[in-house]
Structure 1
Amino acid sequence: MEQIINYIKPELVPVAVVCYIIGAALKHTELLKDKYIPVVLGAFSVAVCAIYVCATSDLSTVQNVLMAVFVAVVQGLLLAGGSVYVNQIIKQAKKEEK
């Protein structure tokens, strides 16, 4: 996990916290099956990261646009994955060992 954290932009870490909160809220509702929660969190995170990357990047060339898309997708997936990972750590820590 430490290696993955090195690739996450520090200014985007709050997105992982928001993903965790959204995931926990979705888990307690019956709006969505549990298996779809990571997909929703991934899409949300990529969208938020895309907004951030577009707001902070020079999108004057095709290469810059493609790099912005790549960064938004990678950062979004890392952040959503991190929030799901933290959720699983908390769940596993609460389990009693057999």
Structure 2
Amino acid sequence: MQVGRDPRPVMREAYNMFKDGGDPEKLVAAFSNGQENEFFYASLYAGLYYESQKKADEAKVHILAACQSSYGQMSDDYMASLAKVHCLCRNWSSD
């Protein structure tokens, strides 16, 4: 699926990772010191990428990190809810 240029750098990088096969760890590292929403999205999409590659352990680490980020905990963004529901469906917790 081709999309136009997204003005959000984190979303451009996430799109390119799925399109071209990228490194989820590099995506998260690139946005780890940025805005909280950027870290949230980088972690979420890194986790979803790992899910698509059938790497559940790596996916769990990143999607839980997205949920536990301040943006993931405090935002009413539907993607924050999606991350939480994903963890519930997979029976993942930070315990």
Pairwise TM-score range, normalised by the shorter structure: 0.3 to 0.5
- Rg comparison, structure with higher value: 1
